[in-house]
């Protein structure tokens, strides 16, 4: 249970400033390059920065083992994601999702992007990272829930990393140009990377469950991340963009939309695994 709420309050202020700084620096770079898709790289970097700042500020307040564990787990996930997106984006133009979003701007597109993309994502980073901050200020020694949390985190990280690797290998083969990836993990879920992300944050949440008060207070984090991935800017927007691609409707009919499930053998007129 957290005993020094004052120190945690200072940490919350410092991490809010950290998340804002990362996103504002990214905004300046994006405006100069005319490419807002780089904000996706900053997403993982911002979480990693928040984890490092929390680890430094929580020294002497929380259990050292848990502090290091939660900071390392968050940074590993965030930096891997940032590196993957950076490699995937190299040489590409603007993401159609951001083009469509900025087309909604009735005034200055740059200010609209600052308000609705960068500052919004900075706020989300801070809110979703609450379990990381809370866990770092808990003095109790590591227990069963902590080990369960790391197991869930590791499963999620491995799931999304393997899915990203399989998709990258698929795209490298010229024979697959224009085809829908439906092999490996992608045959069990249309979004193994998003499903893995959700597991990562449910795992980090378990590390903050040292008592019912902090567990209840930070439950918003994994719930919000899961909602973003499923009905927010993740799965919903991506599938809207892919809806007209040849073969996608058939793929969606036989493949689970989020939770990994055995692929359904298609039958005429039957559509499975909606969502």
Q: What pLDDT shows up at residue 73?
A: 98
CA distance 55 to 132: 9
- Residue 1 confidence (pLDDT): 66
- C-alpha 76/C-alpha 72 separation (Å) is 6
Tracing tokens 């009905």 back to the chain, one arrives at 231
- Helix, strand or coil for residue 2? coil
- Determine the Cα angle at 244 with ends 164 and 248, to 5°: 50
Q: How many CB atoms lie within 10 A of CB 31?
A: 14
Task: Compute the chain's Rg from CA coordinates.
Answer: 20
Cα–Cα distances (Å) from 172 to 28, 37, 165, 178, 190, in that order, read 32, 22, 11, 12, 19
Question: What is residue 181's DSSP assignment?
Answer: -
**The two structure tokens encoding residue 130:** 């609450």
What are the pLDDT tens digits along the chain (275 aa)?
666 778 999 999 999 999 999 999 999 999 999 889 999 999 999 999 999 999 999 999 999 999 999 999 999 999 999 999 999 888 888 877 788 778 888 888 889 899 989 999 999 999 999 999 999 999 889 999 999 999 999 999 999 999 999 999 999 999 999 899 999 999 999 999 999 999 999 999 999 998 888 889 999 999 999 999 998 877 887 888 788 888 899 999 999 999 999 988 754 444 444 45
Sign of the Cα torsion 221, 227, 233, 239 reads positive
Q: What are phi and psi of 44, to 5 degrees?
A: -70, -35
**pLDDT for the residue numbered 106:** 81
Distance of alpha carbon 17 from the chain centroid: 20
């Amino acid at each position: 249970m957290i005993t020094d709420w004052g120190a945690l309050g200072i940490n919350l202020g410092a991490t809010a400033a950290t998340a804002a700084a990362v996103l504002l620096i990214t905004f300046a770079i994006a405006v100069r390059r005319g490419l807002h898709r780089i904000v996706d790289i900053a997403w993982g970097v911002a979480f990693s920065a928040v984890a490092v700042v929390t680890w430094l500020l929580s020294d002497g307040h929380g259990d050292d083992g848990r502090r290091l564990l939660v900071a390392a787990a968050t940074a590993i996930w965030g930096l891997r994601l940032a590196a993957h997106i950076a490699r995937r984006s190299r040489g590409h133009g603007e993401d159609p999702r951001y083009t469509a979003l900025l087309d909604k701007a009735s005034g200055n597109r740059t200010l609209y992007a600052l308000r609705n993309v960068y500052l919004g994502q900075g706020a989300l980073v801070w809110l979703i990272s609450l379990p990381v901050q809370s866990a770092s200020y808990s003095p109790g020694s590591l227990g069963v829930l902590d080990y369960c949390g790391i197991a869930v985190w590791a499963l999620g990280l491995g799931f999304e990393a393997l899915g990203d690797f399989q998709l990258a290998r698929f795209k490298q083969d010229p024979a697959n140009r224009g085809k829908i990836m439906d092999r490996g993990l992608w045959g069990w879920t249309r979004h193994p990377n998003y499903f893995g992300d959700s597991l990562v944050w449910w795992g980090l949440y378990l590390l903050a469950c040292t008592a019912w008060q902090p567990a209840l207070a930070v439950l918003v984090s994994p719930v919000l991340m899961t909602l973003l991935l499923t009905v927010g800017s993740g799965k919903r927007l991506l599938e809207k963009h892919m809806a007209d691609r040849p073969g996608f409707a058939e793929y969606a009919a036989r493949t689970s939309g989020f939770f990994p499930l055995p692929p359904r053998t298609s039958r005429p007129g039957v559509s499975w695994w909606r969502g």
